[in-house]
Amino acid sequence: MSESTIREMPPRKQEERSKEPLVGWYFHTFTEREGKVVIQSQGKVMERVVEQVYLVAYFSWEDGLITHSRLVNLDCMYSWHFYESRDDMCLAYDTKLEKS
């Protein structure tokens, strides 16, 4: 995933991020296939819409562009892995591929 191919909202200021701890963080979701836990999707938490509900953007595996957005309840995010930056998310993905 090339850094220049992802189009997203500008980063929030540090004081804004501290008010909304998940906003601005990248994530992977997981599923089980053939008895193995694998990465299902990747994206970024864009904003908190109301208490416990967040707008998240999902990225394409092919080019890293945003494919769609969805409202997600916080309860559904407990199994997600969060990353502070896109680079951290990509590194986690690359590391996971090396191990499998």
Which sequence spans correspond to the domains of the chain? 3-99
pLDDT > 90 fraction of the chain, expressed in percent and rounded:
64
The alpha-helical segments, DSSP class H, found in the chain are 14-19, 86-99
Q: Give the predicted TM-score (pTM) of the model.
A: 0.77
Residue 14 has pLDDT above 60, yes or no: no
Q: Which two tokens stand for residue 6?
A: 């992802």
Among 3, 21, 6, 40, which residue's Cα sits nearest to residue 84?
Answer: 21
In residues, how long is the chain? Answer: 100
**In degrees rounded to 5, what are phi and psi of residue 25?**
-90, 145
The whole-angstrom separation of Cα 10 and Cα 19 is 17
Q: Which residues contact 60 (CB under 8 A, 6 or more apart)?
A: 66, 67
The whole-angstrom separation of Cα 98 and Cα 19 is 36
Average pLDDT in the chain: 83
